[in-house]
Amino acid sequence: MIKVLFVCLGNICRSPLAEAIFNQKVKAFGLSQNFKCDSCGTSDYHIGELPDERTIACAKRHQIPIHHRARQLNRVDAREFDYILAMDHSNKKNIEIDLQKYRLSHDHIYLIREFQPNSDNLDVPDPYYGGEEGFENVYKILDESIDHFLEYLKVEHQEYV
């Protein structure tokens, strides 16, 4: 099984949407049993909350089931997950600081947009303080990035994908 963790700051906007998109794509390929996917935030701001209502509306527009309660990154995650995918540089930095605190290392921490071909910017923009269009933009970026991440997994793990 391949275990994938998407990480943002609050775990109510970008990373729960990434998790939902990933799960839907994997399900469409009939590969759900080969993957575990989760998401979390580096902050404790929204622990226990449902995704932002604009995230839920965006998922609904694209017919993507979304079921998540916000949680914070913890030391077990570094052991549990094969891939840790940050939404932006600041999330990645925060993950690295947390891992240092736990005296743990992880060899597969990436920015999700590293997998998006020709992306001029490697950050998924934080849509929290903007409007609906920001969430739609996040959806488009994640949809394309995750397609290419799955292509990458296909090459790296032929037995699972």
Rounded-to-integer distance, Cα 143 and Cα 138, Å:
8
Residues catalogued as catalytic: 8, 14, 126
Exactly one of 4, 9, 21, 78 binds ligand 4NP (CB under 6 A); which one? Answer: 9
Quick check: 8 binds ligand 4NP (CB under 6 A)? yes
Residues 126-155 as x/- pattern, contact with ligand 4NP by CB under 6 A: x-x---------------------------
Least separation in angstroms between residue 67's CB and ligand 4NP is 16
Q: According to the binding rule CB under 6 A, does residue 115 interact with ligand 4NP?
A: no
Q: CB-based contacts of 34: which residues, under 8 Å, 6+ apart?
A: 1, 2, 26, 160, 161
CA torsion 42→127→27→33, rounded to 10°? 0
Cα pseudo-dihedral 74, 112, 56, 50, rounded to 10: 0
What are the residues binding ligand 4NP (CB under 6 A)?
8-14, 41, 45, 126, 128
